[in-house]
Amino acid sequence: MYTTAFLDIPPLLYAGGTVRLPGSKSISNRVLLLAGLSEGTTVVHDLLASDDTRVMLDALRDLGCDIQQNGDTVHITGLAGKLSVLHAKLFLGNAGTAMRPLTAALALMSATQGGVFELSGVPRMHERPIGDLVEALRPLGCHIECTANEGYPPLRLSGGQLKLSEPIKVRGDVSSQFLTALLLALPLVSQAHDLTIEVVGELISKPYIEITLNLLARFGIQVERQGWASFTIPQGSHYQSPGEIHVEADASSASYFIAAGAIAGMAQPVRIEGVGADSIQGDIRFVEAAQAMGALVSSGPNWLEVRRGQWPLKAVEMDCNHIPDAAMTLAVMALYAQGTTKLNNIASWRVKETDRIAAMACELRKLGATVVEGQDFIEITPPEVGHWQHASIHTYDDHRMAMCFSLAAFNPLSQTATPNQPISVRIDDPRCVGKTFPDYFESLFQVSQTNANLIPVITVDGPSASGKGTLASALATRLGYQFLDSGSLYRITGLLACEKGIDLDDAPALEALARQVGTTIALRFDHEHVWVGGRDVSDDLRLEASGQAASRISSFPGVRQALVDLQKAFRGLPGLVADGRDMGTVIFPDAALKVFLTATVAERAERRYNQLISKGFSANLEEICADLEARDTRDRTRAVSPLVAAADARKLDNSALTIEQSVETVLGWWVDGWPHVIVRS
């Protein structure tokens, strides 16, 4: 997850490849409960890993279900409707999707089979009402005590005497979760009678009830529905495990990748795994809307493949009442359409995480679009030719705003883009996607491609122990960029040369070795650690001997040349910070910002000394000083790629600066320079 203050997305040119979406929370917990009540073992695939699903799994385990977890696949052997544990205290965190259906299921089971169950959660859970559900269950003969405040958890469920002759009444206008809880639980006691639930008041959130009914059907229970006013569970219904079940991904999350395929899926489609055309979620109908705009969609169980069809996209006028969340994605797709797109019947946007109509209008205008907003509609005309503008997109703490506007990064593909002047899109507060899709941007970058020259690079060059590695890695963290410590590649080559007994003057042998680094010899970089061929060499690389070997071998042109492609390959989305000696001069001469870092020899020697001592190595300050000077001279005077500041580098002497001050200084340069001019060659 990107936790940076902002995320700059460079211009993107293609989309393709596979993305796996995280499982939907509502479906995950319903499936877990149904599997826990069923007869037989259910293999649940793609379960969402979250606090709410964890407490449900713990509760089912406490109730005697056998649960084997292997990554996001879980094997659950259910209770077949029979209690095997008669006393349990269940802690359900803040998971309404666990508290409500477990209350209904355990109240009914304890009334028929005995047993005492206490259900509690975090303090916030004890403020979330459950009275309407309790009021529906008590008249059936369930003993339910609200042990702190009437109408709120914690609850104590202790037996009772079921009488099921009367219709069961539940309010539908407060939360559809109470009806869901009853629907999920009542098949437990449907042996003798048809059971009818009557909804009191207008039922809200009908698509969620559809999900419940659908999942019940997959577990063998066919609920009969009379409109949305009453629901009947036929006599003799019992849960039957479907064997295997996939938890669908959130269909609204799929919309961004469907759009990416429609806009940029040219060479190959975008394949979305986790949700298919047979989805039980209302927002899957976004597929039809995307098709109306030109997307080519094929699908199967649990997957969709989307590629570009008509281009530019077709402008549409559409009633979006049935897909309110996913329709936001259409508003951004409209930037790539010919003509004006109008989305109608979207009044609910005004009362979501933010006033989404106003927010969408404001941010689309920043990009250069013409937008008309009404109380319940929005009308979008793409920017005129040459009028796309760099935009810093405010996201209003609304995950969907952040995800939608990332799609504006495909602007070079627009018919109205300025040739050779693509724009970059800045997304403020990217962490807001954590609400439903923490790794959204990682997934987007995984299925997006662009030309390397469009990916911004910041270079930090300077002499040994100038602190460039620390500065560069801090910048990479603050910007969410990739990081290249090019010195480590020379150190790795030097270390391997020493280990293999290669003479450090044997240029051809060293060059041959350097060509293997990163190709036949696998490298892996992970935070502070470096693995070479599966071995963690992080400590070995820090040794002075490795630094000296690196300095010596780096003067051979063949060695340097052998490592060029490997270094360039680090230029990945969304950007790169690279440190070394020749990053700005040789490897990335087109870098958007070049920093040349210096500090006095005395200051650098002291830093290196302290670093070594703190790591438990012995060190001598004078020797370090002499060694640094010798290395500086060698790096500066070598024939190829000598250590010099690039003509367009900004110099920073950090002798008297803390690391934080250096980082802030360079970040300031970066922010002031935005938008960095990107010329598409």
Smallest separation (angstroms) from ligand DC to the CB of 530: 11
Residues 449-478 that bind ligand DC (CB under 6 A): 464
Listed residue (72, 66, 73, 81) closest to 34, CA to CA: 81
Q: Which of 110, 416, 448, 486 binds ligand DC (CB under 6 A)?
A: 486
Listed residue (460, 379, 523) closest to 649, CA to CA: 460
| Residue placing its CB nearer to ligand DC in the complex, 59 or 457 | 457
Q: Which of 487, 518, 575, 584 binds ligand DC (CB under 6 A)?
A: 487
**312 preceded by a cis bond (ω within 30 of 0):** yes
Stretch in the footprint of ligand DC (CB under 6 A) among 76-84, 138-146, 579-587, 606-614: 579-587
Listed residue (556, 551, 462) closest to 508, CA to CA: 556
DSSP secondary structure of 384-407 = PTT----EEE--TT-HHHHHHHHG
Question: What size, in residues, is the chain?
Answer: 681
Q: CA–CA distance from 652 to each of 458, 470, 655, 661 (Å)?
A: 14, 14, 9, 11
Residues 545-574 that bind ligand DC (CB under 6 A): 547, 550-551, 554
Burial status of residue 300 (CB atoms within 10 A of its CB: 0-12, 13-18, 19 or more): exposed
Smallest separation (angstroms) from ligand DC to the CB of 578: 8
Helix axis angle, 96-113 to 176-185, nearest 10°: 40
CA angle 172-49-65, nearest 5°? 75
Smallest separation (angstroms) from ligand DC to the CB of 545: 12
Q: Which of 490, 556, 570, 670 binds ligand DC (CB under 6 A)?
A: 490
Q: CA–CA distance from 24 to each of 27, 47, 97, 220, 280 (Å)?
A: 5, 8, 12, 21, 11
Phi, psi of 491 (to 5 degrees): -65, -40
Q: Are strands 523-526 and 593-598 parallel, antiparallel or unpaired?
A: unpaired
Stretch in the footprint of ligand DC (CB under 6 A) among 73-81, 226-234, 482-490, 669-677: 482-490
CA 240 to chain centre: 34
* Helix runs in 522-600, H state only: 538-542, 544-553, 557-562, 564-568
| Residue placing its CB nearer to ligand DC in the complex, 29 or 486 | 486
Q: Which of 250, 379, 429, 635 binds ligand DC (CB under 6 A)?
A: 635
Stretch in the footprint of ligand DC (CB under 6 A) among 106-114, 398-406, 431-439, 487-495: 487-495
Residues 389-408 that bind ligand DC (CB under 6 A): none
Binding residues for ligand DC, rule CB under 6 A, total 14
Q: CA–CA distance from 175 to each of 121, 199, 283, 580 (Å)?
A: 19, 11, 19, 58
Q: Is 325 a catalytic residue?
A: yes
Decide if 307 contacts 270 (C-beta within 8 A).
yes
Q: Which of 52, 248, 582, 627 binds ligand DC (CB under 6 A)?
A: 582
Alpha carbon distance 513, 496 (integer Å): 8
If one asks whether residue 580 binds ligand DC (CB under 6 A), the answer comes out as yes
DSSP state, 127? G
H/E stretch holding 90 reads strand 87-91
Structure tokens at 636: 């500066």
| Residue placing its CB nearer to ligand DC in the complex, 190 or 641 | 641
Smallest separation (angstroms) from ligand DC to the CB of 527: 17
DSSP-derived 3-state class of residue 299: strand
| Residue placing its CB nearer to ligand DC in the complex, 435 or 636 | 636
Q: Are strands 650-653 and 6-9 parallel, antiparallel or unpaired?
A: unpaired
| Residue placing its CB nearer to ligand DC in the complex, 420 or 516 | 516
Stretch in the footprint of ligand DC (CB under 6 A) among 6-14, 434-442, 483-491, 520-528: 483-491
Contacts of 331 (CB under 8 A, 6+ apart): 341, 343, 360, 364, 378, 380, 404
| Residue placing its CB nearer to ligand DC in the complex, 8 or 632 | 632
Smallest separation (angstroms) from ligand DC to the CB of 632: 9
If one asks whether residue 511 binds ligand DC (CB under 6 A), the answer comes out as no
DSSP state, 495? H
Smallest separation (angstroms) from ligand DC to the CB of 458: 14
Please pick, among 52, 325, 429, 461, the residue that the annotation labels catalytic. 325
Smallest separation (angstroms) from ligand DC to the CB of 542: 9
Structure tokens at 550: 């690196």
Q: Which of 390, 399, 431, 631 binds ligand DC (CB under 6 A)?
A: 631
Smallest separation (angstroms) from ligand DC to the CB of 352: 49
Here's the x/- map for ligand DC, 590-619, by CB under 6 A: it reads as ------------------------------
| Residue placing its CB nearer to ligand DC in the complex, 81 or 580 | 580
Stretch in the footprint of ligand DC (CB under 6 A) among 158-166, 171-179, 180-188, 576-584: 576-584
| Residue placing its CB nearer to ligand DC in the complex, 366 or 607 | 607
Smallest separation (angstroms) from ligand DC to the CB of 642: 9
Paired strand residues for 580: 461
Q: Which of 571, 581, 594, 608 binds ligand DC (CB under 6 A)?
A: 581
Stretch in the footprint of ligand DC (CB under 6 A) among 277-285, 315-323, 486-494, 524-532: 486-494
| Residue placing its CB nearer to ligand DC in the complex, 100 or 491 | 491
Smallest separation (angstroms) from ligand DC to the CB of 582: 5
Alpha carbon distance 263, 265 (integer Å): 6
The sign of the dihedral angle between the CA atoms of 291, 295, 301, 303 is negative
In single-letter form, the type of residue at position 679 comes to V
Q: Can you give 477-497 as a three-state secondary structure string?
A: HHHCCEEEEHHHHHHHHHHHH
Stretch in the footprint of ligand DC (CB under 6 A) among 60-68, 315-323, 380-388, 484-492: 484-492
| Residue placing its CB nearer to ligand DC in the complex, 408 or 578 | 578
| Residues making contact with ligand DC (CB under 6 A) | 464, 486-487, 490-491, 547, 550-551, 554, 580-582, 631, 635
Give the residue numbers annotated as catalytic, written as ranges: 325
